C-alpha cells in the first residue's frame, strides 16, 4: 500500500513537472515569459542600454526640427514665387492697356509711331512693379523689322522688393505690335531676350509665353 502510494506520488510529480514546463514554453512563445528566458543584465549593461536610448532621443531632437525647417523653407519658396508671378501678371495686364494708344496712332496716321514723342506714354501712372514703359519703332533686337508697321513697347519694372536677386532687373517683358495686311494689329507678349538685365521667362504668365513649363530664356536673371 505504501509502495503504491509513493509510486502514485512519483507519477503526479512527473505530470506536474511536465505541465509546469509546458506552461513556461507557452508563456515564452506568447511573450509573457520573457523573464524566464532573458538573463539578468549587469548594472554596466543596463547603463549602456540607457545611454543608447538617450542618444536616440537626442538624435530625434535634432532631426525633427531640421525636417520642420526644410518644410518651412519649401513652403516659403512657393509663397515667394507666387507673389512674384502675381506681381508680373498684374504688370502685364497694365501694359496691355497701352495697346489702344499704338492702335489709335496707326489708325490715324497709317504707320507706327516713330518715337516716344509721337505718343503720350508718360501719362502712364506707375503701379505695382511696373514703373515705366518705353517705346521704339520696329522690333527690339531685329534691325531688319519694318519700322513703319512694327513697334515695341518695353515694360520697365522695379522688383527690388523681392530680394537682392532682382535688384538688377529692369526690363520685364515686351509687347510687339505688327500691322497685318488688312491694317489690323496683332500683338505678341514676349520675354525680353535682348536686354541684359531682363526678367526670366519663367516668371511671365502664359499669355506672354511664360509659365512654369516654359523653356528658360538665354539669361536666367532672377531665376532660382
Is residue 200 a contact partner of residue 217, using CB atoms and an 8 Å limit? yes
Half-sphere exposure for 141 (CA within 13 Å, toward CB): 11
Report residue 168 CA to chain centroid gap: 22
- DSSP SS3 for 175: strand
Q: Which band of pLDDT confidence, cut at 50, 70 and 90, is reported for residue 56?
A: low
d(CA 39, CA 160): 69
Residue 216 has pLDDT above 50, yes or no: no
Tell me: the pLDDT tens digits for 99-115? Answer: 999 999 999 999 999 99
Q: Domains for the chain: give ranges and CATH numbers.
A: 78-208 (3.30.700.10)
Q: Which band of pLDDT confidence, cut at 50, 70 and 90, is reported for residue 209?
A: confident
Tell me: the pLDDT tens digits for 117-155? Answer: 898 776 666 788 999 999 999 999 899 999 999 999 999
Tell me: the pLDDT tens digits for 167-188? Answer: 999 999 999 999 999 999 999 9
Identify the pLDDT of residue 81: 75
Identify the pLDDT of residue 69: 75
Q: Which band of pLDDT confidence, cut at 50, 70 and 90, is reported for residue 86?
A: confident
* pTM, entire model: 0.63
Identify the pLDDT of residue 208: 85
Identify the pLDDT of residue 68: 74
Half-sphere exposure for 112 (CA within 13 Å, toward CB): 26
Tell me: the pLDDT tens digits for 26-53? Answer: 555 555 444 444 555 555 555 555 555 5
Is residue 204 a contact partner of residue 92, using CB atoms and an 8 Å limit? yes
Nine-digit cell at 38? 532573458
Identify the pLDDT of residue 70: 76
Amino acid at each position: 500500500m505504501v509502495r503504491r502510494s509513493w509510486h502514485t506520488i512519483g507519477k503526479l510529480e512527473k505530470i506536474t513537472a511536465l505541465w509546469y514546463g509546458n506552461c513556461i514554453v507557452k508563456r515564452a512563445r506568447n511573450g509573457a515569459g520573457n523573464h524566464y528566458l532573458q538573463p539578468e543584465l549587469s548594472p554596466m549593461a543596463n547603463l549602456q542600454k540607457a545611454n543608447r536610448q538617450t542618444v536616440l532621443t537626442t538624435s530625434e531632437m535634432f532631426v525633427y526640427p531640421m525636417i520642420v525647417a526644410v518644410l518651412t523653407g519649401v513652403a516659403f519658396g512657393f509663397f515667394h514665387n507666387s507673389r512674384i508671378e502675381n506681381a508680373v501678371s498684374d504688370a502685364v495686364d497694365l501694359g496691355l492697356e497701352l495697346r489702344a494708344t499704338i492702335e489709335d496712332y496707326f489708325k490715324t496716321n497709317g504707320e507706327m509711331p516713330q518715337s516716344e514723342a509721337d505718343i503720350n506714354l508718360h501719362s502712364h501712372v506707375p503701379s505695382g512693379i511696373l514703373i515705366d514703359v518705353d517705346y521704339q519703332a520696329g522690333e527690339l533686337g531685329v534691325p531688319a523689322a519694318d519700322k513703319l508697321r512694327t513697334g515695341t513697347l518695353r515694360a520697365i519694372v522695379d522688383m527690388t522688393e523681392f530680394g537682392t536677386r532682382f535688384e538688377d532687373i529692369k526690363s520685364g517683358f515686351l509687347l510687339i505690335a505688327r500691322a497685318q495686311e488688312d491694317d489690323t494689329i496683332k500683338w505678341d507678349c514676349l520675354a525680353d531676350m535682348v536686354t541684359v538685365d531682363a526678367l526670366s521667362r519663367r516668371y511671365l504668365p502664359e499669355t506672354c509665353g511664360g509659365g512654369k513649363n516654359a523653356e528658360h530664356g538665354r539669361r536666367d536673371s532672377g531665376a532660382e
